[in-house]
């Protein structure tokens, strides 16, 4: 139960950070998750990026972002100077 709460807290924090440093309008992205899944992915480099049986949206999900995808995006911003 505590680990589930920690996971939700970390996911919410990552969502907040992505919202603060999120993409510009010209950088709209696609978010995918497996049908029935709870984790949204935003980076095709993530080993868990759904390739079949998924749902997708252009709207940033309010919770449940994949920590690996967020890490990739933060690294990309650091190296691109954004």
Q: Looking at the whole model, is its pTM more than 0.95?
A: no
Are the C-beta atoms of 63 and 43 separated by less than 8 Å? no
Domain ranges across the chain: 2-80
Question: For residue 54, what is the enclosing H or E element?
Answer: strand 54-57
Containing H/E element for 14?
A: helix 2-20
Which helix or strand (DSSP H or E) is residue 73 part of?
Answer: helix 67-80
pLDDT tens digits, one per residue of 25-58:
445 789 999 999 999 999 999 999 999 999 999 9
Q: Compute the distance between CA of residue 59 and CA of residue 41 in angstroms, rounded to an integer.
A: 12
Q: Is 46 helix (H, G, I), strand (E, B) or coil?
A: coil
**pLDDT number for residue 16:** 67
């Amino acid at each position: 139960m505590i680990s589930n709460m920690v996971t939700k807290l970390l996911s919410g924090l990552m969502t907040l950070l992505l919202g603060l440093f999120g993409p510009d309008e010209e950088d709209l992205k696609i978010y995918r998750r497996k049908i029935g899944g709870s984790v949204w992915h935003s980076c095709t480099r993530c080993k868990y990026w759904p390739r079949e049986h998924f749902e997708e949206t252009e709207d940033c999900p309010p919770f449940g972002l994949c920590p690996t995808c967020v890490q990739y995006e933060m690294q990309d911003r650091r190296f691109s100077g954004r």
